Amino acid sequence: MRVCVDTTILLDILKDEFRIFQDKLYTAIARRENLVAPSVVFAELMPQFKGNTKQLGEFLEEHKIVIEPLALDSVIAASRGWIKYLKRKAKVKCPQCGQKLNLKEHFLSDFYIGGFASAKCSAILTRDRGIYTKYFPQLFGYEDCLEMLPL
């Protein structure tokens, strides 16, 4: 199965946090899933490696993750989700006073990852399922696929 790996999972490994999500990646590796990530994930990880592309490349290779460019179909899928997000964000106001409410801020990179995953992958491995469920409802979480497939 082709699985998109979100930046959050790789940060969890680097910071040794959220062990349950790290374990999902290691399960995918053990199952020999085809693990990929869009180039934006590479960019988001660069600060953790202080710009050392060789070390980052070795980390990704060690975790069996291949970086791929964002193709036009991925960008189109991302932009559809981004537009939906911007429209929703602009309309949310307090029902009592009418003041705009601060929503959780998302970045365009989140939508690039979601667009890539929905256009190129069977599932996404992420800790942040909310954004992908809301803006890419056709996208399966890797954990959902594990429940459907035998080991």
Helix axes of 19-30 and 7-15: crossing angle, nearest 10 degrees? 110
Q: Is residue 114 part of a domain?
A: yes
The full DSSP string for 51-84 is T-HHHHHHHHHHTTEEEE---HHHHHHHHHHHHH
Q: What is the pLDDT of residue 97?
A: 78
Q: What is the DSSP letter of 47?
A: G
Q: How far apart are CA 64 and CA 46, in angstroms?
A: 18
Q: What is the pLDDT of residue 151?
A: 47
Q: Is residue 35 part of a domain?
A: yes
Token code pair at residue 60: 């990704």
Beta bridge partners of 3: 35, 123
Q: What is the pTM of this model?
A: 0.84
Token code pair at residue 13: 């490994």
Q: What is the CATH number of the domain that holds 94?
A: 3.40.50.1010
Q: Is residue 133 part of a domain?
A: yes
Number of domains observed in the structure of the chain:
1
CB 146 within 8 A of CB 122: no
Q: Is residue 149 part of a domain?
A: no
Domain that holds residue 107: 2-143
Q: Closest by alpha carbon to 9, among 151, 129, 131, 136?
A: 129
Q: Is residue 151 part of a domain?
A: no
Q: Is residue 10 part of a domain?
A: yes
Q: Output the tens digit of pLDDT for each of the chain's 151 residues.
A: 999 999 999 999 999 999 999 999 999 999 999 999 999 999 999 999 999 999 999 999 999 999 999 989 988 998 899 888 888 776 667 777 777 766 667 788 999 999 999 999 999 999 988 889 999 999 999 887 766 655 4
Assign residue 64 a region: left if phi > 0, alpha if psi is -120 to 50, beta otherwise?
left
Strand order across the 34-38 sheet: 65-68, 34-38, 2-5, 123-125, 140-141
Q: Is residue 150 part of a domain?
A: no
